[in-house]
Amino acid sequence: MFTDTHFHLRNLNELGIDVPSLFSELYDADFSFLMDIGTRCDDLENRISVAKSALQKLAEQGCSEKADAIFKVLYFSAGIWPDVDAIKDRSEQMKILRQFVENCSEKEKLVAIGECGLDHHWNVNGNDHRDESEFDSDLFTQEAEFFEMQLEFARELKKPVVIHSRDAFDGTLSCIKNVGYHNGEIHCFSYGKKEAEAFLDLGWYIALGGAVTYTKKSRMDEMKELIRYIPLDRLLMETDSPYLAPVPFRGKTNTPRLIDNTYKFICDVLEMDFDKFTIQMDKNAKNLFLQVETCAIL
């Protein structure tokens, strides 16, 4: 049994991944919770359409049982990643996001707002094209305002938030304290034990992905200390696929199917029974995003 609380199906599809075959593999691997994550104000219906089209193709291949089972455990978020153009156009972006959420064709499948947050990792040649020269004090202020607008929207809807926070711990903590809505996860957690404590004390979950498997040797002890520090009932598993493939697939296109490598890595660190760990991760995902109490065997 596996859960992946953060992947990008549209990006996988655009990269040429055979999504019907992927869904078939996820069924065979016994995935119990999957969440496709939004990054743009207007991408929700397109992402739902990509998923439904792939599931229909899977059914047409004689695998309707698999298609039905995957749809049952597949959920979506809706949110806006903080790129420069979106930040500058934040009021209009929020209007569009609200319209798509209100008109969602699968309302019961929309279980979270995000990903949204702050990103101060400067790499103009990276996937996110973050250019420090574009950010002055005004844009930093606008970025924080944009993040808080989405936190407020989540509170209005009473849905958990998927937070993107990279090289921006102080700002992220300040924004969530300003709004005072503490319901959700810090996705792809990239800070240390002290920062984890600050988020955990406010009630947030911590999500870990494939990056933990290739932490630099000089920092591996710190990573293992962090993994052991996070309360087991506040930990979530994710891939952020198609990015951040775990060892031994680092540098390749990531998919939810590869999450077992991250599960095994964390289980080894915790010296915990694998089956018990997977049951707990299932419980955590459903408790946060579906508000469903499930039975964990610990």
Task: For residue range 30-48, list pLDDT tens digits in order.
Answer: 999 999 999 999 999 999 9
Please tell me the predicted confidence (pLDDT) of residue 186.
98
Statement: residue 295 has pLDDT above 70: no
Supply the mean pLDDT for the chain. Answer: 96
Distance of CA 160 to the CA centre of its chain: 11
3-state secondary structure of 120: coil
Query: Which residues, including other chains, have CB under 8 Å from residue 272's CB and lie 6 or more apart?
Result: none
Where are the domains positioned within the chain?
2-289
SS3 162: strand
Residue of 219, 53, 79 whose CA lies nearest to 146: 79
223-235 average pLDDT score: 98
Is residue 150 within 8 Å of residue 172, measured between CB atoms?
no
CA 241 to chain centre: 9
Count of Cβ atoms closer than 10 Å to residue 104 Cβ: 16
Contact 280, 296 (CB under 8 A): yes
Q: Residue 131's pLDDT is what? A: 86
pLDDT band at 123 (very low <50, low <70, confident <90, very high): confident
Give mean pLDDT, residues 92-115: 98
| The dihedral formed by the CA atoms of 221, 222, 227 and 228, expressed in degrees to the nearest 10 | 70
Report, as an integer, the average pLDDT of 9-28. Answer: 98
Q: How high is the pLDDT of residue 297?
A: 42
CB atoms within 10 A of CB 27: 18
Alpha carbon distance 112, 109 (integer Å): 9
Tell me which residue of 275, 177, 209, 241 sits closest to 12, measured CA to CA: 241
Work out the widest C-alpha separation in the chain, in whole angstroms.
Answer: 57
Question: How far is the CA of 183 from the CAs of 29, 166, 201, 288, 289, in angstroms?
Answer: 29, 19, 12, 8, 10
Q: From CA 202, how far away is CA 185, in angstroms rounded?
A: 11
> What is the mean pLDDT of the segment spanning 152-178?
98
Q: Please, which pLDDT band fits residue 296 given cuts at 50, 70 and 90? A: very low
What are residue 114's DSSP bridge partners? 162
SS3 9: helix
- Residue 293 pLDDT > 70, yes or no? no
Rounded to whole angstroms, the Cα distance separating 137 from 243 reads 30
pLDDT band at residue 158, thresholds of 50, 70 and 90? very high
Which two three-digit tokens encode residue 125?
Answer: 């040649």
Q: Is the pLDDT of residue 130 over 90?
A: no
Residues 2-289: name the CATH superfamily.
Metal-dependent hydrolases (3.20.20.140)
| Residue 215: per-residue pLDDT | 87
Burial of residue 25 (number of CB atoms within 10 Å: 0-12, 13-18, 19+): middle
| Average pLDDT value for residue range 168-194 | 98
Averaged pLDDT for residues 56-72: 98
Single pTM value for the model: 0.95
Comparison of pLDDT for 60 and 129, the residue scoring more: 60
In the block, residue with structure tokens 């040797």: 217
